Structure 1
Amino acid sequence: MRLTLKPLAFVALSCLALTACKDEESAGVGSAKSGVKVAESPLAAVDANIEALKNNDLKALVLSSVPPSMTEHLRAKWKSEMNQDPITEEDRAKFAEALTMLTAPGAEQKIWTDVQPKFAEWQKEAQFQMPMYIGIGQGMLGSMVDGNEDLTEAQKTQAKAGIGAFGTWASSAKFLDADLAQKSIGIVCHAAREMKLESLDQARAMPFDEALEKGNIAFKATRDLLDNYGFPTNDVLKSLKSEVIAQNGDTAKVKVTYQMFGTPLEVESDLVKLEGGWYSKESVEKIRAEMNGSANSEPSPDADAAEGSDESAEG
């Protein structure tokens, strides 16, 4: 079963790297024909993303982060991904089972009743194993950062600081607290009901824009789960500050600083101006490469016409 957001992943990640709090009027935000706001300055692009994050609005986060001319590519890619693998009866059965488990009346209590007998055992194991797992995870992520040739030394330093801050939270989070676990089950069940999915076929046939709206629900649930375990997403968002450190014509570099568990962090992002708005350079380049790749993989109309002429000549 492939319920993936691959076409959106790099867009969403780049949005997270471009967030900051600015006054919308002074930033300058216009409107595209599609109704999606177009950021008329680099700081307006930052403002649009932070507002979307605060409002748990994945749809706005994605659509405001690519030029209008590229959204159709995202829609086409989504449809292609959803139809890539045929749905099997086993897939349908597993999806229906999971859906029933999360959305049936009294699902929260039933799930907790099933989990509770094992909880004390998990708590005992976690007391000794969790620090080890967190340490291993931090080490693996640090190695991945060191081996990433696309990152500068300054970026690697910031990435490692972020991993360390996240590890600080993970080490103190009470993942196996019974009350928090029950609350988490409630958050997941509520989100599943709110999505109003009825079958795997419905989910796979869902249009791009509707899928983003469903994604808003999942996005909010993810933040609620993090908050439930002591990760202060609101505090992180409130700490965001940004500045344009360089601008030359239709290119700009923005630095975003923020705090995570008392650790000061920063990220620099390159923006480009296209179609009257400002967007992540990395996102634009990746989508453009995908669009060019799709175009190159399909025979051109001229090539088809030439082939037809050859066949006529031979006839």
Structure 2
Amino acid sequence: MNTIKLLFISVALMSLMACGEDQGPGAAANEVAKLDTNTPDGAFKAVVASLRSNDLKTMIQTSMSEEQYNELVAEFEKGKATQFSQSDEMQFQQMMGMLTSEGAEDTLYAMAAPQLEQARAFLPMALMMGKDQISQMVQSNGMLDQAQQESAIKVGGAVIDWVGENDILSEEVTKGAIAAAVATAKALDMKSLNEVKDMSFDQALEKGAVVLGGVKNIMGAYGISMDDMLDSVEVSNVQVSGETATMDMTMELFGEEITQAVNMVQKNGKWVSEK
């Protein structure tokens, strides 16, 4: 499955969300204008500000060189010629039909309720085993260095503790999440995956902004604020050497302060992430 097809199936399947007001394309422009994006830390902060505003267009423009951006647009246009499978199309239409039907919130909660009962019975045992399982999985991941493993284990443990302290499977929380799902299905206003073929790249980013805003709202239903996490981001120890730079990024996740090294490179005069 090519990148563009995967992107839009992901948009569809992540429709458990709703877009916030005064956010989306262009919303971060004023904030980004205050930053010196000619510096590596300024460029990094511009990406954070864009995510804070659900502004994927500004995020992409500030986090990619002109060459990378043009390649992404070209890949998108090429990907529009790909045919979605009948199975993908049917799955999308069924999902959107269910989410936008009359009485969808009550119907979906009635479907979820039996699974919630089972999950409540299983959760305590899962939490008891969770930290050890996370630690084992992280330590067996050869793609992470020691510092990254320590951060991942720390965050994983904090998530386990947070889940144990909050009733994430309550009726109130679940209904809030379902309400976000229904609202987003309407906000996306897509009845068929083939509508992607008529979208411009900017229009696709608008749909992506709905998804990003909805991720925040669905997390909010569970008492998690992604915007608070983004607001907690701080950059320090910026070291520039020619066209490369390193810095330390610190943010708060589930009550734990996490510090991660960030590597930047300069491409055509623009600072972008090394990866």
TM superposition score normalised by structure 1: 0.70
The 2-side partners of 1:24 and 1:272 are apart by 19
The percent of aligned pairs where both chains have the same amino acid is 25
Give 1:71's aligned residue. 69
Count of aligned positions: 252
Change (3 A) 1:27 1:244: farther
Select the residue among 210, 231, 236 that pairs with 1:238.
231
Contact 1:195 1:214 in 2 (8 A): yes
* Structure 1 residue runs without a partner (length 5+): 9-22, 29-38, 283-315
Task: Give the SS at the match of 1:189.
Answer: helix
Give 1:127 shift. Answer: 2.8
Give 1:247 shift. Answer: 1.1
Give 1:111's aligned residue. 108
The amino acid of 2:124's aligned partner reads: P
Give 2:60's aligned residue. 62
Q: Which 4+ stretches in 1 moved above 6 angstroms? A: none
Give 2:257's aligned residue. 264
The 2-side partners of 1:150 and 1:259 are apart by 23
Give 1:160's aligned residue. 153
Task: Give the SS at the match of 1:70.
Answer: helix
The 2-side partners of 1:195 and 1:40 are apart by 35
Cα deviation digits, residues 203-241 of structure 1 (max 9, x gap) = 355443322210111111111111111223233222221
Higher relative contact order, chain-length normalized (CA < 8 Å, sep 6+): 2
Is 1:212 paired with 2:214?
Answer: no
The 2-side partners of 1:214 and 1:66 are apart by 20
Contact 1:169 1:230 in 2 (8 A): no
Select the residue among 80, 97, 116 that pairs with 1:100.
97
Give 1:271 shift. Answer: 0.5
Select the residue among 222, 225, 229 that pairs with 1:229.
222
Change (3 A) 1:151 1:275: same
Give 1:130's aligned residue. 123
* Structure 2 residue runs without a partner (length 5+): 11-30
Give 2:24's aligned residue. none
Task: Give the SS at the match of 1:168.
Answer: helix
Task: Give the SS at the match of 1:231.
Answer: coil
TM superposition score normalised by structure 2: 0.80
Give 2:245's aligned residue. 252
Select the residue among 1, 6, 22 that pairs with 1:4.
6
Change (3 A) 1:162 1:74: same
Larger Rg: 1
Contact 2:180 2:214 in 1 (8 A): yes
The 2-side partners of 1:278 and 1:232 are apart by 28
> Cα RMSD between the aligned structures?
2.8
